[in-house]
Amino acid sequence: MAAVHASADHTFSKPTMTSIELVAGLGVAGDAHSGARVRHRSRVAADPTQPNLRQVHLIHAELFDRVAADGFEVGPGQLGENITTNGIDLLGLPTGTTLAIGDDALVTLTGLRNPCRQIDDFQDGLLAAVLTRDDGGRLRRLAGVMAVVVRGGEVRPGDPIVATAPATTHPLVRV
């Protein structure tokens, strides 16, 4: 794992921390998106009773290199993720994949982050760089994956992440 981030406020970017505490059923301790029910402002406005499938946001550091090729400067935490990974094909993992992080923590992937126009407020044109089309014209969301915390624990940069796919696999879809 490359870096960890949290913010008590609903800010777009999250500061880098020396460690974060994942809490089962809630998310990142002290983070604005932590909770059993939805915490993302637009989702709360639509239906505050929905379960929070976006407790932890993970982005692969390789995305920063990809968007740099298009002229954007993006670093860990700047897109609002809680965990920045490296060397893991997060977008290629199926829904329900578990990620064992560090000594104790376990999260389950729920889907793809659906990036919003706030990304263009951060850097104009960046939304188009993280929402692309494949050769068949299908939309590809590149801005990371979302997860729920199954088992809590403290996680730090440098901690190993081990992915385990579920018995039956389904591609990640936006959550």
pLDDT tens, residue by residue, 47-99:
889 999 999 999 999 999 999 999 999 999 999 999 999 999 999 999 999 99
pLDDT surpassing 80 at residue 44? no
Q: Please, which residues bridge with residue 148 across strands?
A: 108
Average confidence score pLDDT of the chain: 95
Q: Which of 10, 15, 13 is nearest to 41 (CA)?
A: 10
The model's pTM: 0.96
Sorted by sequence, the CB contacts under 8 Å of residue 139 that are 6+ apart come out as 131, 132, 133
Burial of 149 (0-12, 13-18, 19+ CB in 10 A): buried
First vs last C-alpha separation in the chain: 23
Please check whether residue 53 is in contact with residue 95, taking contact to mean a CB–CB distance below 8 angstroms: no
Could you identify the residue written with the tokens 């994949």?
A: 97
The CA-based dihedral angle spanning residues 79, 85, 87, 89, taken in that order and rounded to the nearest 10 degrees: -70
Q: Cα(78)–Cα(61) distance, rounded to whole angstroms?
A: 11
| pLDDT, tens only, 134-174 | 999 999 999 999 999 999 999 999 999 999 999 999 999 99
Q: Answer positive or negative: Cα dihedral of 85, 168, 27, 74.
A: positive
Q: In what order do the strands lie in the sheet with 105-112?
A: 16-17, 3-5, 83-85, 56-60, 145-151, 105-112, 98-101, 161-164
Domain 3-164: assigned CATH number: 2.40.33.20
Q: Report domain extents, the chain.
A: 3-164
Strands 20-23 and 153-155 come out as antiparallel
